[in-house]
Amino acid sequence: MDLLLTIALIGGLVGGGAMYALVRRDVGRNRALLVAAVAAVALGIGWFAALYGVVVGLGAAMLAYAVARSRIGADKALLAAGGAYFMVVASFTALLYASIETM
């Protein structure tokens, strides 16, 4: 259990730092800190549900944000990134649940 907590904490901090670096220029320092905090908590919780699917979800969120911010603006791009992250992690969670149920 300690290993899972350590991985979740480190993964959350690294992911939160990456999101802060990605959005700081677009939304400002204070809002970027809020985005980073939410990303860190979401990634930390996601590690318990989907294990390494969180890394794929973070990549999908960053890609969605990078593409969407030039087309629809930074605020709506953050929503798109959150939706992409949620859908990927939810899909990985469902996949893991289904594979464990059929064992």
Q: What is the pLDDT of residues 9-24, one digit of tens each?
A: 887 888 888 889 888 8
Distance between CA atoms of 10 and 21, rounded to whole angstroms? 17
Q: What is the pLDDT of residues 53-66, one digit of tens each?
A: 777 888 888 888 88
Domain limits, the chain: 2-101
Q: Are 18 and 58 in contact (CB under 8 A)?
A: yes
pTM of the shown model: 0.70
